[in-house]
Structure 1
């Protein structure tokens, strides 16, 4: 069986996770090339993972053009997402790119047009499609286990940005690099999970806030204005009339990486969370007409990894639910509607 030679672009925090996932996926993947603008990161990661010096690229375009690279994994800040995707499409190189698809919807439109002209196997890194509890929730919803779904609530909370920590101004707070703040970083995952479970967004209203307006420069200590959101909430009407309520924040003290959803159907409720990814809670009517609450173990069939889907895509047998370019594009369209709804204080159609 073919071993796919991988080129990794971006050697920051998420890159370490991708390197680990590649290793866990087995011998079908081989990391042979890396790219980053930081020469120290290139040298350190290159030495650690035995990457030949000739395969350590300062320019990502050279890695994409390398004929020895079978597929690209991109784990960079948002400001280069569009350029990397464009280069992969133009080179006909299969890829997995981190979310969000682009900084804004304007960057997404020409990429979709190029993809439709020159399609290549492509995957967008909506990793929470691979949380076992979320996948099992999808299965139960589709099987009608709680009857017709009427509404749901979703939240994605982190605490590292809270005022008590006096966190510095990092790239995730820089509008030129990130586009939006909490919305693009965390909210994009909530949007994708909702689409994965229920279908398309139809219309929504929203509020985006910057709770902490200034943060210290990590080098000088001088205060820098924050121009992106660190809190967002929105409510949406989705396909089939399902209503959803969403909130996301980096200022939730005590929340490490808390992404969860509660789904309300005619005959019961499902609650699933990253805090216990191998179980979910199911509330249904019991035999005596009361309500039973049970913690249900997720079956092994729902324990699919992101890289097993990536491998299936490269093998030419993509699976149901693999997040592709259209998912990235539609996710960006929803985020654009959220920004407009917040700015205009109105209900916006997606």
Structure 2
């Protein structure tokens, strides 16, 4: 993002902060936001932190018509000593650039993007909730802003970061969910945009999710888009299965998003000497493992829930229980360990956490 100097405009009147208890996800936003503009030939410029506000775009801006956009999602946590902590933020900005490359969008300077995020959070430190299970959700994103009704990469962009305090994902402890295996709709295929974090992937998933919810299921389990045979993702999360003592997760194949939580779970399991494999796994194999009693646990991983145990899945009209519908021992251990690292309740042997101290930042 070039030589970055951040201009700051403070809001004149600060918002009332919502009560932490029962706060809805993504409905409340902090007082300020970060914006940078990109112009072809000039690069990134006009880096600024301004009061949170609507943005003005030309009606023919490319984002509205051709969907050229990418985004990320991560969290800031307040530890018991009052410090604010980021979990592997450099991984999010690295992945954002991978998404940008797929969507023909300009790369951001990852180090400077992280500095911009730190500066924004330093201003909004009071917005980071401290109650158990709460956090400040961070949404960096980029949109194509050039006014042009033509199918071509935009020559102008905005990169923005907004912040939203969020409550605990689990209100009464980690609870397993019921999922519906999707046999009709397709989320993504290899060679498409499934490995990028772009809006179109999520728009394509809404119909199946709506159908699943109408049938009483919390999430959709997506199969590959060609044979509809191999497991890919669950909802907007990566998915893991413990079968006969071995943990298996679908290998990244070009249509699966490489989750930061997924990567962290794999690294933790290997550090614990738990057998773990990244490979293709079919629904047939999963069902056979369940019927043979070898399917010990199943769980999704993602920024919002961290770990979401799966207690039941439905495929082709049949229902299959996982661990009698209860959360598994490994799932709970992973959740406890990872959230402990994020919030500072546990040591960080991997060096994943960046601590934002008052007026300074240090890598732990």
User: What TM-score range do you get, normalising by the shorter chain?
Assistant: under 0.3
- Between structures 1 and 2, the one with greater helix share: 1
